[in-house]
Structure 1
Amino acid sequence: MTLEARALGPDLARGFMLLFIALANSHYFLRGSSVLGGYPRDGSGVDAAAIWLISTFVDGRAFPMFGLLFGYGVAQIVRRHEELGPRRVRRLLWRRAAVLVVVGFLHAVLLFAGDILAAYGVLLLLGAWLVRWKDRWLLLTALLFFALISLPSDGSLTISSDPPGASMLPPDVATMVVERAKTSAFVSLFGPIGFITPFAVGLWAGRRRILEQPESHRALLRVTASVGIGAAVLGAQPISLMLAGVVTPPDQPTLEVLGPLHDATGTLGGFGYAALLSLIAARVQARPRPVVDAIAAVGQRSMTCYLAQSVVWAAVFTPFLLDLSDTLTVTTTAVLAVMTWLVTVLLASWMRRAGRRGPFEALIRRVTYSSTGSRPAGPPSPPSPSSPDTVASSRL
């Protein structure tokens, strides 16, 4: 598929999602006299405001959006290759999953212990069986796992008081490899449990082409955007105000309720963000849109841009490199995250104009379609801002 044939909505959502992921990931590297929810608690008033903003609008909201878009893209792959038959499509998805697992593991060990690519690879190994499920079973599965993540638990990152460990800030290369390998294995095996709900909903939405044909689903998208984002903002407040130092942390049993509440409403927020960006894409579809196209270019190269962020985190925070975990604050780290995202926007926009795919997108396509004979040949042409997009993305 050439990039000019891609729908704007899913790519725009992916592009913005990577800004949120940068903000969500970077503050977990910071040290402090005490840490709660990944935030040092000894910052300034400006830091407290930044903590409130990020924990309200970003933390626990970006990754459900990632999962929704991942499932949506899988549904697009299945539809485009339906003529291959269920078995060959399943093998195609398994090859894609294998690339995610391998690249994700290397990413975790060499750059960033919080990698999610391997977890999504494992999810796709299992999810390849879900693509043939009827809609009602997909939605019931999504509802079941949503209920599970809503149960009281001390496993939410939003209530963790652990400082960054050796896997995040390794003192040397040997420790880095050993600790991150263990962390990657743990996240890959248990992470998919929390991603099943958005993945299943994404499969359901992808079958209906909801994000790529927003004009036909405007009412649903508006309700999803308003209810999802509203629930995410309201549901975040007990934790966000606590993390910002506005209210005193409650006792542990209460925290074990509030943490999952933050996470569960964040899943709804991820759905809401995807719906909102799809509606925005519909409004700007026929207009000149250099900024929108640049952000969508990030979405078209999301795997490459995601990995590029980790190069920055590794260089800036690793103790045997720049080691700025004690120097940067929540605010300056957020600025670093935004600047990193902006650099990937410029890089992706340049590749779009040059008609080039991201290197990791090219890799995953080459492996995925190696034996199907259906892989599009040659690099894509730069998309025309005025041409309507009618086919959805099938990539991360």
Structure 2
Amino acid sequence: MPGSARVTDTSASPVPTAQRVLAPDLARGVMLLIIALAHTYIFTKIIGGEGVVLSAADRVATAGTIMFVEFRGYPMFAALFGYGLAQIHRRRTEQGHEWPWIRALLRRRARWLIAFGLVHVALLFFGDILTVYGLVALVFVGVLRFRDRTLALLAMAFLPVGAIILAVFAAEEAMTGESQYPPMPEGFLDELLFRLFVFPITGLVMVVSTIAPFLIGILAARHRLLEEPHRHVRLLRATAFVGIPLGLAGGLPLALAKAKVWADYSPLDAMIAAGLHQVSGYACGLGYAALIALVAARLTERQGPVTNALAALGQRSMTFYLTQSVVWAALFASYALHLKVTSPAIAAGVAVAVWLATVVLADLMRRRGAHGPAEVALRRLTYGPSR
């Protein structure tokens, strides 16, 4: 292989904990709470539909989920995925590897992500992100060599695509009165077929919604926004203190509609509200990431037990993302406990409780020096056995 004589390291060893950057790990740890809140809210819809009478607490929980969680955390996680991919590219380039070797490595990693994700879909949850990220990485790995300006223009081009798709879905829902979340059937085989049927639809929306923040994450990694936040304080503050309020304001119309406060909700209103919700979600998600980077910059030299636990969860985010799905299956599947939770307020409480349990488990793993099994499996399948 050309240039192989310059290679200094081909091992699959992870970056030592002491050398890891706090901000991405902290962001992933917090992000898992947002994912948990989003997923339990979805289960209330596929279990009870949109027609369930909401209490005051449920209205508040619904509005809060729409404004702070739904399509808010997802762009942040997608940006972190792009950031991580760019870090791998930079690290392997610095070790002396040529582009064809790095491209093959990243594509192999992407294919294994797709494999993990498809098993996840079939057995546990139809809203899988691993398959989506694998597909995006497989198709867009070449953008790692694009110029900054090209990446920015490409991100802007993809920005409205997801909003248009969601606007069409929302208009159809308003016209027909049918929920965008189909009711979940009962029985192991029926639920498996349900997940396999629904995932291509949800996956399409997620893929087109991932590309723009994924590209922005690559741009951020090039300029080391999370590794060196002290050099980018002005940009991070602007992103956080403009993006988050913009995202919350953009999510308000849809939140009022879903909480059944906005009564006369026409199909045109639905299209506008859904499109605005999606586009403003990008600003909010990136704002979340910027805010966590600013917080991490202040905590780097004085990390306490809470920070360490959250970072430990972020370092094992894939493992505990899948763990959450195991818990949802155990709680909600018809062949398990089959809890019929239709209250968004109760669902939010369940999400927080499960997330807190994973924080504790991740911290126990950190204390014992144990890596996440999903991360270890992906690394070994990607690189082969570590030297």
Asked if these proteins are the same fold (TM beyond 0.5), I'd say: yes
Q: 1:186 and 1:55, CA in 2 relative to 1: closer, same or farther beyond 3 A?
A: closer
Partners of 1:342 and 1:63 in 2: how far apart?
20
* Residue 354 (1) aligns with residue 368 (2): yes
Partner of 1:54: 65
Partner of 2:281: 266
Partner of 2:251: 236
Partner of 2:10: none
Partner of 2:225: 210
Q: 1:131 and 1:49, CA in 2 relative to 1: closer, same or farther beyond 3 A?
A: same
Deviation (angstroms), 1:188 = 4.2
Partners of 1:130 and 1:308 in 2: how far apart?
32
**Match of 1:301, as an amino acid?**
R
Deviation (angstroms), 1:42 = 0.7
Unaligned runs of 5+ in 1: 378-396
Q: 1:122 and 1:249, CA in 2 relative to 1: closer, same or farther beyond 3 A?
A: farther
Deviation (angstroms), 1:171 = 1.3
Match of 2:158 among 137, 141, 145: 145
Partners of 1:188 and 1:94 in 2: how far apart?
19
**1:35-92 deviation per Cα after TM superposition (whole angstroms, max 9, x unaligned):** 44xxx54121011111111111111101101100000000100000012111111111
Partners of 2:47 and 2:90 in 1: how far apart?
52
Q: 1:187 and 1:45, CA in 2 relative to 1: closer, same or farther beyond 3 A?
A: closer
Partner of 2:89: 78
Partner of 1:227: 242
Whether the 8 Å contact between 2:171 and 2:270 is mirrored in structure 1 is: no
Deviation (angstroms), 1:33 = 10
Whether the 8 Å contact between 1:105 and 1:184 is mirrored in structure 2 is: no
Q: 1:356 and 1:136, CA in 2 relative to 1: closer, same or farther beyond 3 A?
A: same
Partners of 1:347 and 1:47 in 2: how far apart?
30
Q: 1:64 and 1:163, CA in 2 relative to 1: closer, same or farther beyond 3 A?
A: closer
* Residue 24 (1) aligns with residue 11 (2): no
Match of 2:179 among 153, 158, 162: 162
Match of 1:106 among 119, 123, 133: 119
Deviation (angstroms), 1:157 = 10
The 5 Å alignment of 1:304-343 reads 304-325=319-340, 327-343=341-357
Whose helix proportion is higher, 1 or 2?
A: 2
Whether the 8 Å contact between 2:247 and 2:281 is mirrored in structure 1 is: yes
Whether the 8 Å contact between 2:172 and 2:267 is mirrored in structure 1 is: no
Unaligned runs of 5+ in 2: 1-14
Q: 1:276 and 1:249, CA in 2 relative to 1: closer, same or farther beyond 3 A?
A: farther
TM-score calculated relative to the size of structure 1? 0.88
Partners of 1:88 and 1:60 in 2: how far apart?
35
Q: Percent identity?
A: 40
**1:282-326 deviation per Cα after TM superposition (whole angstroms, max 9, x unaligned):** 11111141101101111100000101111111111112222212x
SS in structure 2 opposite 1:177? helix
Q: 1:67 and 1:158, CA in 2 relative to 1: closer, same or farther beyond 3 A?
A: farther
Partner of 2:206: 191
Deviation (angstroms), 1:181 = 2.3
Deviation (angstroms), 1:177 = 2.6
Partners of 2:47 and 2:330 in 1: how far apart?
23
TM-score calculated relative to the size of structure 2? 0.90
Partners of 2:36 and 2:171 in 1: how far apart?
16
Q: 1:165 and 1:148, CA in 2 relative to 1: closer, same or farther beyond 3 A?
A: closer
Partner of 1:122: 135
Count residues in correspondence: 367
Match of 1:87 among 100, 104, 109: 100
Partners of 1:133 and 1:94 in 2: how far apart?
17
Partners of 1:92 and 1:237 in 2: how far apart?
43
**Match of 2:216, as an amino acid?**
V
Partner of 1:394: none
RMSD: 2.1
